[in-house]
């Protein structure tokens, strides 16, 4: 099954601690059904120093969020929207916002 959310899309978190926040998708894991969103769902990782080059300490990084907890963000609607797929006249498929009916950008 093809996913409707891709790397580079802007999404809105609709459930969890970061509900209401928006960010850009950094990566998508299709097998696990999870996405990593920029500056959303930060976790602290305690790391041990590995020699002279790698310094130890507490690092903050984004953790994956389940696909069901994010919606594609439509700037025209100003909120997260459902996504449909429409076939253009030239035969290409394009993602469409269900709220406004407009084609979503291919960022």
Looking at residue 29, which CATH number applies to its domain? Answer: 2.30.30.30
Digit-coded pLDDT (tens) for 10-41: 999 999 999 999 999 999 999 999 999 999 99
pTM for this entry: 0.84
Q: The dihedral of CA 49, 54, 59, 63: what is its sign? A: negative
Residue 43's pLDDT is 96
Termini Cα distance of the chain = 21
Query: What pLDDT band is residue 106 in, cutting at 50, 70 and 90?
Result: low
Q: What pLDDT is recorded for position 1? A: 47
Domain residues for the domain of 73 are 10-50+58-79
What's the domain count of the chain?
A: 1
């Amino acid at each position: 099954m093809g996913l409707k959310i891709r790397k580079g899309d802007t999404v809105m978190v609709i459930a969890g601690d970061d509900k209401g926040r928006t960010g850009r998708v950094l990566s998508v894991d299709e097998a696990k059904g999870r996405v990593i969103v920029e500056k959303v769902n930060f976790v602290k990782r305690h790391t041990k120093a590995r020699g002279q080059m790698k310094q130890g300490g507490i690092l903050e990084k984004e953790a994956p969020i389940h696909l069901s907890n994010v919606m594609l963000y439509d700037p025209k609607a100003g909120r997260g929207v459902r996504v449909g797929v429409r076939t253009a006249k030239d035969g290409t498929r394009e993602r469409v916002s269900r709220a406004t009916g407009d084609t979503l950008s291919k960022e």
